Amino acid sequence: MAITARTTAPLMRGSESAPVGRDQMSETLSSQPPVRPPAMRTEAGAKPRTAAEINKLPKKVTATDVNFFYGEHQALHGINLGVPEHHVTALIGPSGCGKSTFLRCLNRMNDMIEGTRVEGTILLDDQDIYRPRTDVVELRKRVGMVFQKSNPFPKTIYENVAYGPRVAGVRKREVLNEIVEKCLIQSALFDEVKDRLDTSALQLSGGQQQRLCIARALATGPDVLLMDEPASALDPKSTARVEDLIFELKHTYTIVIVTHNMQQAARVSDQTAFFYEGHLVEAGPTNELFTKPKEKQTEEYITGRFG
């Protein structure tokens, strides 16, 4: 994936209420990627600028020596990564590098695939989520997930959002109403759908569907939100809205996002981790990784020499 191929996307959405720095950033990134730092977001929640700053932050998720196997094939090799609380961590790398596999380890979605095996520890706060007798259902309520392709249930908008609380045992209509409204507001969808909560979610546009999926994930009250290329199937305008949303959500949630799009990683994340062939090559503050990559592979990837 060459970075230059992406230049049109951010430029097309000039009318967005995005901070001024954005367009500058994408231009600078696309012309001479590693040389100048990506522009800082101006809103609250300033990005940590150095590795020392990142390390000082409290960790929400800590992966230690994680190996992952699909049958005989080892897909992840000794991954060590801390995810700071209330920040966005982006996982980047070429297709098949293990970034999505790693993401799915964090809420144990890989359990659903036959013949997979995990080694090492992954702590959520201070609990190992792979300890025997861990309640996977409880884990998934606390670690929400948004998928690459929006996948609303073939039900109403309301029922989509209310599903998580419902399966968790919430029965009272007023409570559900409150949760649905809050989550739709949080995911910036409420104004568009408030008059048609009882219509099928499948009638929404692709971008709206994806924000609905985000609202749905928020409704279980998670601490961590995992996003697997949430914008890859969206048009530029919808992508921008989702990115703005991520930026808002990180005040409340800890976010881990997998992305193919390095500019997106640069825009939304505080920490970036570069995966290659199942190894975590390098992780660090986003601006550092993009401007002064320590590893040659990282530099080659972000300058578009492969991938």
Partner 1 sequence: MSTLAADKPGRPWAPLMSRLFAVACGACMLFCLALLGALLYKIFGFGWDRLNTAFITGKPSFMPAKSGILVPLVGSLYLIGLTAAIAVPVGVGAAVYLEEYAPLSRWRTIIQTNIANLAGVPSIVYGILGLGLFVRTIGLGRSVVAGALTMSLVVLPIVILSAQEALRAVPGTIRQASYALGATRWQTIWYQLLPASLPGILTGVILSLSRALGEAAPLVAIGVATVVRQVPENLFTDEFTALPLQIFYWTDMPDEAFHEAAAAAIIVLLTVLIGMNALAVFLRYKFGKRIQW
Partner 2 sequence: MALTATTPPMELTAPRRRWLESVIHAVLLVCAAASVATTVGIVAVLLSQSIPFFREVSLVEFFTGTEWAPLFSPARYGIIPLVFGTTLVAGGAAVIAIPLGLGTAIYLSEYATPPVRHAVKPLLEILAGIPSVVFGYVAVVFISPLLRKVFPSADYFNALNASIVVGVMILPMIISLSEDVLRSVPRSLREGAFALGATKLDVTMGVVVPAALSGIMASFLLAIARAIGETMAVTLAAGATPQMTLNPLKSVQTMTAYIVEVSQGDAAAGTPEHRSIFAVGLTLFVMTLALNVFAQMILKRMREKYE
By CB under 8 A, name the binding residues for partner 1: 107, 109, 112, 114, 137-141, 144-145, 147, 149, 151-155, 163-164, 166-168, 202, 213, 216-217, 219-220
User: Minimum Å distance from CB 132 to partner 2?
Assistant: 8
On whether the CB atoms of residues 260 and 227 are closer than 8 A, the answer is: no
Give the contacts of 241 (CB within 8 A, at least 6 positions apart): 188, 207, 211
Q: What are phi and psi of 271, to 5 degrees?
A: -125, 140
Q: What's the alpha-carbon Rg for the chain, to the nearest Å?
A: 19
Minimum distance from residue 283 beta carbon to partner 1 (Å)? 24
Does the footprint of partner 2 cover residue 172 (CB under 8 A)?
no
Three-state secondary-structure class, residue 162: helix
State in angstroms the smallest separation of the CB of 151 from partner 1.
4
Interface characters, 251-290, with partner 2 (x: CB under 8 A) = -x--------------------------------------
Structure tokens at 250: 């990180």
167 binds, among partner 1, partner 2, none (CB under 5 to 8 A by kind): partner 1
Distance CA 160, CA 143 (A): 18
Report if residue 110 touches partner 2, rule: CB under 8 A: no
Instruction: Select from partner 2, partner 1, none the partner in contact with residue 131, using the beta carbon and a kind-dependent cut-off of 5 to 8 Å.
Output: partner 2
Question: Residue 106 or residue 265: which is nearer to partner 2 going by CB?
Answer: 106
| 168 token code pair | 């968790």
141 vs 250, beta carbon nearer partner 2: 141
Contact between 233 and partner 2 per CB under 8 A: no
Note whether 223 binds partner 2 by CB under 8 A: yes
Report the run of H or E that residue 276 belongs to, with start and end: strand 271-276
For residues 10-30, b (16+ Cβ closer than 10 Å) or e, as one string? beebeebebbeebbebbeebb
Residue 168 binding partner 2, by CB under 8 A: yes
